[in-house]
Structure 1
Amino acid sequence: MILYGLKTCDTCRKALKSLPDAQFVDVRADGVPQDLLKSAHAQFGAALLNTRSTTWRGLDDTERQRNPLELLADHPTLMKRPLIESQGRLYLGWGKDVQAALLG
């Protein structure tokens, strides 16, 4: 299981605490593999972008209109977190549904 997030993100820390065996990848330092981003975007669509982040608020309208995959490549912190890859499946966020699926 791989958890993509930010080490400073409270939600990511909660997820990591509940998933102690997960490998953590800091998207700011290490980025997200492009093929994984494509799969996540195909599955989650616009939900993959965190439009409530300070990074998003700092973008002008022209930047916001760009292809989401290009935006995420340039600004990995725009990704909603955490993105969890487990047994070939992707999970986004740390809501009750994701917790139930991963914790049983």
Structure 2
Amino acid sequence: MKKVYFLKTCDTCRRILKDLNLEGFEQQEIKTNPITANELEEMYQLSKSYEALFNKRARLYKSLDLKNKDLSEIDYKDYLLQEYTFLKRPVFIIDNQIFIGNSKKVVEEMKK
């Protein structure tokens, strides 16, 4: 399976997607087509952590003052299902590997 979760209004996502050959990838824009509990569970099985999927740079993270709260894996899961902006993006799933986020290291690993 080849799939990418992204946000079309995110400049970084657009830049990364433009640089890659996405032929054969299922593309899911998370604002218009939010992730489901099953899709999140699939990501969790590959990453072994909801926190790894969680975007701590989201504006809502700061406005809800979540950095000063002790969040559990269940809390991260609930927030990810409630609000699309909490998903660290883009998320690529290639066979049984997951690539989360837009750091140079992750993007380079994904390109290989």
Q: RMSD of the alignment, in Å?
A: 2.2
**Aligned counterpart in structure 2 of residue 80 of structure 1, from 71, 84, 88:** 88
Range with greater deviation from structure 2 (33-42 or 78-87): 33-42
- CA, structure 1 residues 34+74, in 2 after alignment: closer, same or farther (shift >3 Å)? same
TM-score after normalising by structure 1: 0.78
TM-score after normalising by structure 2: 0.74
Match of 1:28, as an amino acid?
Answer: K
- CA, structure 1 residues 51+95, in 2 after alignment: closer, same or farther (shift >3 Å)? closer
Q: Which has a greater percent of helix?
A: 1
Partner residue, 1:50: 55
Aligned partners of 1:41 and 1:69 also within 8 Å: no
Unaligned segments of structure 2, at least 5 residues: none
Deviation, structure 1 residue 44 = 5.4
Partner residue, 1:29: 32
Aligned partners of 2:12 and 2:102 also within 8 Å: yes
Query: Equivalences for 1:1-104 in 2 at 5 Å?
Result: 1-21=2-22, 22-42=25-45, 43=47, 45=49, 46-59=51-64, 65=71, 67-104=75-112
Residue-pair matches, total: 102
